[in-house]
């Protein structure tokens, strides 16, 4: 499967009261990867929500990724995204098998991305590129760095951090394969607008 397109990331607070409706609206507009990101410690709810998302993703032929929880990903038979504090990728790859999608956060460091690729990452993620509500303190990445990364890496590149329809184009032009979006997709006032935005993001990637 070619990893290129919109990478939708959930936010429990932003989606409170409309979680599944907005996720399905995004899937309807076309999503390559959907990441379930929930930092709470309510494991029963997280399992329940992740199971519902897996069901939806399967209906729309989208790959589900679990943020920072390889064990939950293994339980559901889906992919995982690991941050720099989650340790090396190798144990996750051993746990999830050779076909699972495993992503790695690399901030703005190409060396981290090269290391992740060696350890078997399916894609590497750089960011934040713009001011981000989700990760306000993350170190900034630049389009120049992105262009260098594209020249040096042979894995799909994901970009994240404050990405909107208005600012995404230069990132695609400099080599981004996956546009990871939270507020720029789900911060909409209707399900119709979520679907419209999803289609528009994919149009930028010629999908």
| Distances in whole angstroms, Cα of residue 32 to Cα of each of 49, 88, 109, 112, 151 | 19, 25, 25, 24, 23
Q: State residue 149's pLDDT score.
A: 98
How far, in Å, CA of 15 to CA of 74, rounded?
25
* Residue 99 known to bind ligand: no
37 is in an annotated binding site: yes
Does the annotation place 38 within a ligand binding site? yes
Q: What is the pTM of this model?
A: 0.96
> Count of alpha carbons within 13 Å of 6, Cβ hemisphere only?
31
Q: 98 labelled as ligand-binding? A: no
Say whether 177 counts as a known binding-site residue. no
- Torsion on CA atoms 20, 25, 31, 33, rounded to nearest 10: -10
Q: What is the DSSP letter of 153?
A: -
Burial label for 177, CB within 10 Å (0-12, 13-18, 19+), is buried
pLDDT of residue 1: 64
86 marked as binding residue? yes
Rounded mean pLDDT for each run of 10 residues along the chain, 207 residues in total: 93 96 98 96 95 98 97 97 88 96 96 96 96 72 96 97 97 98 98 98 93
For residues 175 and 143, what is the distance between their CA atoms, to the nearest angstrom?
9
How far CA 147 is from CA of 158, 205, 206, in Å, comes to 13, 16, 19
Q: What is the pLDDT at residue 6?
A: 98
pLDDT of residue 85: 83
pLDDT at 57: 98
């Amino acid at each position: 499967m070619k990893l290129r397109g919109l990478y939708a990331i959930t936010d429990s607070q932003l989606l409170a009261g409309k979680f599944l409706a907005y996720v399905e609206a995004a899937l309807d507009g076309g999503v390559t990867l959907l990441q379930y990101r929930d930092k709470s410690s309510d494991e029963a709810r997280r399992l329940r929500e992740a199971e519902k998302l897996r069901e939806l993703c399967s209906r729309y032929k989208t790959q589900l990724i679990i943020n920072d929880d390889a064990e939950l990903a293994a339980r559901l038979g889906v992919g995982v995204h690991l941050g720099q504090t989650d340790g090396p990728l190798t144990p996750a790859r051993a746990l999830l098998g050779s076909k699972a999608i495993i992503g790695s956060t690399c901030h703005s460091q190409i060396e981290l991305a090269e290391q992740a690729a060696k350890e078997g990452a399916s894609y590497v993620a750089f960011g934040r590129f713009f001011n981000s509500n989700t990760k306000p303190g993350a170190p900034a990445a630049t389009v120049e760095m992105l262009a260098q990364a594209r020249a040096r890496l042979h894995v799909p590149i994901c970009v994240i951090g404050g990405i909107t329809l208005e600012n995404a184009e230069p990132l695609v032009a400099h080599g981004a394969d996956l546009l990871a979006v939270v507020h720029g997709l789900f911060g909409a006032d209707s399900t119709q607008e979520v679907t419209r935005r999803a289609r528009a993001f994919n149009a930028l990637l010629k999908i």
